[in-house]
Every structure is written in structure tokens, then in C-alpha cells.
Amino acid sequence: MSENAAVPEILRAGMVRGDRRRLLVDRAFLTLCIVSAFTSVVILLVLIGTILVQGVTYLDAQFLTGYASRFPEEAGLKAALWGSVWLCGVCGLIALPLGVAAAIFLQEYSPRTGLASRVHTFIQLNISNLAGVPSIVYGVIGLTVFVRMFGVLGNPNQYDALVRIETASGSVVQGLVAQDDAATLVLDVLEVQGAALAEGADLPKGMEISAALAGKDAAALAATGPGDEVSLVLKRDFTLPLDLNFALEPVPEGVEPSDVRVRARVAENRPGTLTLLDPLRGPVTVAGEEVRSRSTVSVRRHEFQLKNGTTVGGDTYSIDAEELTVLRREGSPLTVPLSEVASYRAARPLELGSPDSLFYLRLPLGGSVLAGALTLMLVILPVIIIASQEALRAVPDSLRQGAFAAGATRWQMVSRMVLPAAMPGIMTGAILAMSRAIGEAAPLLVVGGFLFITFTPTNVMSDFAAMPLQIYQWASRPQEEFYRVAASGILVLLVVLLTFNAAAIVIRQRFQKPLQ
């Protein structure tokens, strides 16, 4: 007994079971190992294979140069491709210097004693924790901090007005104007009524509502007279050309004004009157007593001077014939009789430069390229810092000591010796971080990347689409045809990522000098 206890456990097991059985177990385990190791190869092959098979259908020049469309054969990736380029460019310009600098601080400027060293250790620990934060949480933070800027400066990307569209066949689509410029009116659909839209009407709110009323497309819609059936496809961020803008329901000849619904952006709101901004006809002023029911939903930030001398600030929630309801940051919504309002002022976003120029800045950032890029920066910053630190750590200490011995300051040592030596490693890490940024969809979804957009960004304040978002949008459509479009998008995304990875490998092998 005592002899047995002294023998190692493995040997004891061996003596009891016999060699043959052990060898059998060994063999079986090796087989299991090989099977599991090649499972990942099989998964990769199946993944790429299925995507290739589905994706080749729509992968052509048109796909790369066309914009989003509701017809699968016309759908293109151009806006998303350029959106991704802009996003990653801006993100890289901000994140790379910041990340590398933080890595240099952590690696080369580490204080050894006192409070500074505690802070240093804390930052180090903190960065590994930040790397584990889910990207969607960064999205939520980006939305609050960058897009809305805590709501202090108003909400630039908020809805302006409730819009109601009546189709010729009597169906009613109700939605919020998310954005309108000279050319388009973008709607967020809230509600659809009418049997003609029944197909797809059980889809969740905000998702696509497709209504195949007839074979005509939207372009033919303008020429459609009363009684005709039309094909109408509405979805989140549906873009409607202004000439089809029957949302504003202009007054037809011979109709009593009391039956007219006017729905437009609120331009001005004085006691007794409401001035609306009709993009086609300019300001329209309506007397208060002519307004029959709540006609406008607006969540734009306003300040109201009340007759009793107080000021109410907040997002106007609704204005109807008698009342104004203001949503305040704190507390419940405040309802004020219109007769109490003395004057009002719309809080405008802070602007710098012209919206058409390359250099244009607006606060708060809204769902812009800059806000998206800053959010992505939060996501990839820990990755860049950790990779750069590893590259710096690989630089031998003799280089540092040599530089110090020659009388260099710390920064001279870092900038002329350590950084050049670590550059290939830092570049590799940076490229891999950027490829993470290109494929990241969740934070952009929250920050407000557009899912349906037909232009490329002109400056950092432009709205954007991004490749992973576009893929998500196509993949979440109910029509199977769009799966193929999504697969084509994935192929393009994977090619971009492979290029990035190849570049990283080339840099790693070409420029990495042995530092001994």
C-alpha cells in the first residue's frame, strides 16, 4: 500500500489498466483531436462556400457602383462602401495617434513609485477590461455622448413632423419625418392602415412594410390618378422624392379649408396661430381656431417664454389647437395653453462652415460620420493600445539604454529609437484593429447609421451607410432574393478584410527586422 502511494498517479493508472487499453484511449483521443481541429476548417469552407454560391448572382460592376434599391437586381453597395471608407479613415486618424500615444505612455513612461504608478497600474487594468466591453454598449455610449451630446444642444437627427400618406387605394401610412432636404423626404413608418397593405403589415414596426398593390414602381406614382392602384414599398428610412410628396396634402381646388390636413415642419408658433413650413410652398400660417386636432408632432428643441415670465425649454412633443406639450429633461411633460405662450425660439444646432463644403462641423454631431467614427474609436482603442504595447515590449532594452547613455531625453529615445523599431508591430496591430472597425456593425446600428441611403458622404457631418449595416439590412429583409444581395455584400466585405490581413502579414514579414 505504502509503495503504491509513492508511485505517480499516471503510472499507477497504467499499471492497473494495462498498456493496450491506454494505447487505445490514446488513439481514440488523437482521432477526436484531428476531427475537432478540422471541424474549424470545415466550418470555414462551408461558410465561404455557401456565401460564394449565394453571392455570385448579384456581384457585378453595377453592385459596386449602384445605390441601395428595393429591387434586388438594382441594389448596390456604393453608399455603404464609401461610408465605410469615410468611417474607417476618420476613425483611424483619431484612434491610431491616441492609441499609440497611450501605449507609449504605458510602456515607456511608467513611473515606479507613488500615486503615479498606482494610476498607471489602474490604466493598464482598465484597458484590458475595456477590451471586454460589448461593442453595443459602446454604441449606446456613443449615441449619448457624441450623437446627442447628452441632449444639451438639442437633437439634430430627431423627427420633425408626423406625416400621413394616403395612397390612391385608400390605405394610410403614418410616419415621422426623419430627415428632409431639397430632394428627399425620409420617413419612419409608424403605422399602416388598410387592407391593401395587409401583405407584410404584420411585420414589426420600423421594419419593412411592402405592399404589392400592382406592378407599378414608385417613379410612376406621380402620374397616378385617383382610383389607380399603385405599388408602394415603404420601409424604415424610406426615401421619397419630393415630387411624390403627397404627405403635405396641398389644398386641392374647391375643397373647404376645414377639411384640409396640413402636416409640415413647425416654423413658428405664436399664440393663436401656427406657422408651418411647407417645403414646396414656403411658410403656411394657420389660425389656431382652424386647427381641429393635434396636427404636429415635433421633437425639436425649443424654448418658450411664457406670459407669466417663466421660460420652458425642452423638446416640443405636440402642439394642437389649444395646447403645447413640452418634454423636459427632468420630470413629466409639461402642458401649457397656447394662449400662455408669449414667444418662442427654436434652439438651432451650433454650426461651423457650410454643409456642402468638406470642412463643416455641427454640434451635436447627430448620426454623422464623425459620431460613428468616434464610437468605433472607442471600440478599437483597447485593441490598438494592447497591440502597440506588445510591439513596444518586443523592442530590446539595450536600445533604450544606449539612447540614454548617449544623453537622449526620454522622448528622444522613444521617438528616434524605440518607435521606429516597433513600427512594423504597431502597424500590424493597427491594420488588424482597422479591420475590426470595418466589420463592426452593432455600435453603428445604435449610433444611427442609415440603412437606406443614396449618396456618399461629402464631409464628416454627412449621414452614412456602412457595409456591415447594409449587409444586416439586406439579411433582415423577408425576401429571400435579398439574401443573395447580402451574400454579395459579404463577399465584398471579406475581400476588403482579406486585403487588410494580407497587408498586415506583408508588413510583419517584410519590415520586421530581428532586433538582437
Partner 1 sequence: MSAFPSAASVPASSPVESGVLRSRGVRRTVDGLVGVVLAGCGIFSILTTFAIIAVLLEESRRFFASPEVSASEFFFSGRWSPLLGAEKHFGIWPLICGTGLVAGVSACLALPLGLVTAIYLSEYAPRPLRAFLKPVLELLAGIPTVVYGFFALTVITPALKAAHEITLKPLAATLDTLPSWLAPDGLVAFIGRGIDSYNALSAGLAVGIMTLPIVCSLSEDALQAVPRSLREGAFACGATKFDVSAKVVVPAALSGIIASYLLAIARAIGETMIVALAAGGLAQLTADPRNQVQTMTGYIVQVFTGDTTAHGIEYKSSYAVAGMLFLLTFIVTLIGYQIMRRYREAYE
Question: Tell me, what amino acid is at 161?
Answer: A
Closest C-alpha among 372, 365, 368 to residue 468: 372
Q: Between 455 and 500, name the residue whose CB sits nearer to partner 1.
A: 500
**Distance between CA 456 and CA 458 in Å, rounded?**
7
DSSP 355: T
Q: Tell me how crowded residue 288 is: count the other CB atoms within 10 A of its CB.
A: 17
CB 174 within 8 A of CB 190: yes
Q: Between 40 and 357, name the residue whose CB sits nearer to partner 1.
A: 40
- Minimum CB separation of residue 88 from partner 1 in Å reads 13
- Minimum CB separation of residue 334 from partner 1 in Å reads 12
Q: Between 19 and 259, name the residue whose CB sits nearer to partner 1.
A: 19
Q: Tell me how crowded residue 285 is: count the other CB atoms within 10 A of its CB.
A: 11
- Minimum CB separation of residue 402 from partner 1 in Å reads 13
- Rounded to 5 degrees, φ, ψ at 98 are -65, -45
Q: Between 403 and 460, name the residue whose CB sits nearer to partner 1.
A: 403
- Minimum CB separation of residue 127 from partner 1 in Å reads 5
Q: Between 220 and 327, name the residue whose CB sits nearer to partner 1.
A: 327
- Minimum CB separation of residue 98 from partner 1 in Å reads 5
- Rounded to 5 degrees, φ, ψ at 69 are -150, 160
Greatest Cα pair distance, the chain, in angstroms, is 112
Q: Between 34 and 287, name the residue whose CB sits nearer to partner 1.
A: 34
Q: Residue 329 corresponds to which cell in the numbers above?
A: 429633461
Closest C-alpha among 434, 433, 438 to residue 469: 438
Q: Between 310 and 412, name the residue whose CB sits nearer to partner 1.
A: 412
Termini Cα distance of the chain: 55
Handedness of CA 150, 155, 161, 163 (dihedral sign): negative
**Distance between CA 419 and CA 391 in Å, rounded?**
9
